[in-house]
Amino acid sequence: MSAIVLATFSARYQHAAFGLRYLQANLGELQADSALLEFDLQTAPALAAAKILAPAPRLVGLGAYIWNIPQTAALLAALRRAAPQLTLVLGGPEISYATETHPLTPLADYVICGEADLTFAALCRAVLAGAPPREKIVHAPPPAPAQLALPYALYTDHDLATRFTYLEASRGCPFGCEYCVSAIERGVRRFELAALLPEFERLLARGMRRIKFVDRTFNLDADFGRAVLEFFYSYAAGRAPPPAEPLAVNGSAGRLAPPSELQVHLEITPSCLTPPWRELLRRAPPGLLRLEVGVQTFSEEINARIGRQQTAAAAEDALRFLRQETHALIHADLIAGLPGQTLESFAADFDRMIHLQPHELQVGILKRLRGTAIARHDAEWDVRWNPEPPYELVANQLLDAATVEKLKRFSRFWELLGNRGRFENTLPLLWSGPGDSPFSRVWKLCDHLFPRFGKTHSIPLFELAYALLEHLVAGCGLERARVAAALRTDLARSGALHLPNWLDTP
């Protein structure tokens, strides 16, 4: 029996629900009477409802995110039918802005807008005491980090062994990029290192290896960042000091695993890559850091239009430094469809990024996230949006609907071809000639792949590889032996036990 159940649909199993763990950690005396359930998008809402109702709760808190709106709507309806007396509470970034018009709002008894860590606990106490608030929409003031109970003990050993472990050292963002929810309320609040580092040490002792910091801009403060990274550098170098007391959490007292297994993901901003930060990142052990570098566009005109404080020179210099002078794995981001961006200007951004050689390049389509200021450009640029999540661009004055659809296919095929490390030797053959544009070459390849497969997902590796071979030989005029040799190397690296016979066919 649990009076309170916290639940959500995560995009994938490997993504643990960090927000729900914060809510549960801050329930105080109610924590013992609570349960946390996590589902992925493949879980039928009816099955999720049955599992939620099994402990006979009196209140259910659900996390709403851009990826789980249909599932959450169906779950709310199923819970209301099966247990009309149940109090249903919604929270999360998707429901926190433009709440009154959100289609989920009528389905819940209460909606908490903002960071609900403490407000949810207060709401639970009021409801369970028989004195529920009168107002349906509750606005949660941002809590000071020192007020919060940290959630890290709520990661199970199974979580640490099989999923990403989400950590945070700060909340908020100082920047005003109009496409981003973090820009709605500016300001940065940092957690106390004296509270964080012992928690991180316990998690490492229990087997934490795949770490993702959720901080929006990790490299704001060199002194603060140095303390956090030095902690992980020390561990990765095998110098982690023994804990002062047994680290028993969730029934486990672990020992440190081989340091080489550890990877720490951080989001950094190129404009904040100061000399102290460069010195710090140069010393990162090989393989430890995975840095997400949000460039989005090299156009200074577009950056100024959307409130983004970044110059092209600073972004390029930061990427060149990270690639050439550090051992970090570099994941860079570009956005297609920004106000004033043409297909040609996006192509130039893509080509410039390819020549800077990040290990991964994510191509995203502009979204109109609820509450963000990007919508203020709609009239000037004749912007049309999909009203359904994920609220992507449909068309604008400079990109018609057919072109935007092709950009979406380009993004998905690039993920298959360029971001999974499967064609590291073969893909660069596309733009191996003098003056070749990587964007134009990949764009043309997409015109070959989409009619062939009729989809942009679930394509078997060997079939994709054969299509790539066919295009490079017939479409680009490359020697078959040269392409086959590159593919043979790539497919062997993928772990395939038997390579296809067509690699040996003249």
Beta bridge partners, 9, equal 39
| pLDDT tens digits, 171-217 | 999 999 999 999 888 899 999 999 999 999 999 999 999 999 999 99
Q: Is the pLDDT of residue 248 over 80?
A: no
How far apart CA 361 and CA 65 sit, in angstroms, is 24
Q: Are 426 and 441 in contact (CB under 8 A)?
A: no
Q: What is the mean pLDDT of residues 420-424?
A: 90
Q: Is the pLDDT of residue 495 over 60?
A: yes
| pLDDT tens digits, 64-94 | 999 999 999 999 999 999 999 999 999 999 9
Could you tell me the pLDDT band of residue 506, with boundaries at 50, 70 and 90?
Answer: low
Q: What are phi and psi of 215, to 5 degrees?
A: -55, 135
pLDDT of residue 256: 34
Domains of the chain: 4-143 (3.40.50.2300), 150-399 (3.80.30.20), 400-506 (no CATH)
Q: Which two tokens stand for residue 231?
A: 């902690």
pLDDT of residue 454: 97
164 DSSP 8-state letter? B
pLDDT of residue 434: 86
Q: Is the pLDDT of residue 250 over 80?
A: no
The structure's pTM equals: 0.91
How far apart CA 116 and CA 468 sit, in angstroms, is 49
Could you tell me the pLDDT band of residue 258, with boundaries at 50, 70 and 90?
Answer: very low
How far apart CA 315 and CA 330 sit, in angstroms, is 13
Lowest mean pLDDT among 17-31, 175-189, 326-340, 441-455: 175-189
Burial pattern 460-480, b for ≥16 Cβ within 10 A else e, equals: ebbebbbbbbebbbeebebeb
Average pLDDT taken over every residue of the chain: 93
How far apart CA 188 and CA 186 sit, in angstroms, is 7
pLDDT of residue 239: 53
240 DSSP 8-state letter? P
Q: Is the pLDDT of residue 6 over 80?
A: yes
Lowest mean pLDDT among 24-28, 182-186, 299-303: 182-186
How far apart CA 70 and CA 77 sit, in angstroms, is 11
**Which of 280, 287, 304 has its CA nearest to residue 225?**
280
pLDDT of residue 435: 86
Q: Where are the alpha helices (DSSP H) in 10-44?
A: 18-25
CA triplet 94, 53, 118: central angle to 5 degrees? Answer: 45
Q: Are 5 and 61 in contact (CB under 8 A)?
A: yes
Q: What is the mean pLDDT of residues 30-38?
A: 98
Could you tell me the pLDDT band of residue 261, with boundaries at 50, 70 and 90?
Answer: confident
H/E run at residue 34:
strand 34-40
pLDDT of residue 185: 83
In this structure, the strands spanning 252-253 and 248-249 are antiparallel
Residue 153 three-state SS: helix
Q: Are 121 and 105 in contact (CB under 8 A)?
A: no
| pLDDT tens digits, 438-459 | 999 999 999 999 999 999 999 9
Q: Is the pLDDT of residue 241 over 60?
A: no
Lowest mean pLDDT among 71-75, 257-261, 459-463: 257-261
Lowest mean pLDDT among 31-45, 132-146, 258-272, 383-397: 258-272
| pLDDT tens digits, 99-130 | 999 999 999 999 999 999 999 999 999 999 99
Q: Is the pLDDT of residue 254 over 80?
A: no
282 DSSP 8-state letter? H
How far apart CA 482 and CA 492 sit, in angstroms, is 16
pLDDT of residue 260: 45
